[in-house]
Amino acid sequence: MANYDIVEKAIESLGILFRKLLSKIMLLKEYGATNTQIAEIGDLMKSGIGLNLLDIANLSNEAFLTTLLERKLKAADLSNIIILLVELAKLKNSLPPEYNSNQLLSKALFLGDYLTNQKIAYFENIAALDEARRLVEVI
């Protein structure tokens, strides 16, 4: 029973973290982002999934997915990561050069392909993936 409680709390805290991250990103989209704010988002991601934005940018798509799966993230978590990556990519004018929007979109699409191949679909990530495809064509 104790192990179940620990896992349940970890899942709950990850959901709270994703909501907090998305809220911060939405504010940055509205007002623009500074390097400090981008670093703060990266630190929050590091605390939740073990990877900051620079780690994510530097990993290949395959290594990124493998790392997330090794951390035993659920499909819903992967779906949330897709949404976060797409929303971050929209900050392209505020992102430092090392966080290339195309890299973020590529990883979001790769995660989406993985979930699709697993026959897992969430309405939120379907919309985010459609937007990522559109943005890749624009960028």
Give pLDDT tens digits for 40-63. 888 888 988 889 888 898 899 999
In the chain, what percentage of residues exceed pLDDT 90? Answer: 15
pLDDT score, position 11? 47
Q: How many other CB atoms are there within 10 angstroms of residue 15's CB atom?
A: 14
- The residue among 33 and 78 whose pLDDT is bigger is 78
- Locate the DSSP E strands across the chain: none
Interaxial angle between packed helices 75-89 and 35-49, expressed in degrees from 0 to 180 and rounded to the nearest 10: 170
Residue 4 has pLDDT above 60, yes or no: no
pLDDT score, position 13? 62
How many domains, in total, are found in the chain? 1
DSSP per-residue string spanning 112-124 = HHHHHHTT---HH
pLDDT score, position 131? 83
SS3 103: helix
Q: Domain range for residue 32?
A: 2-138
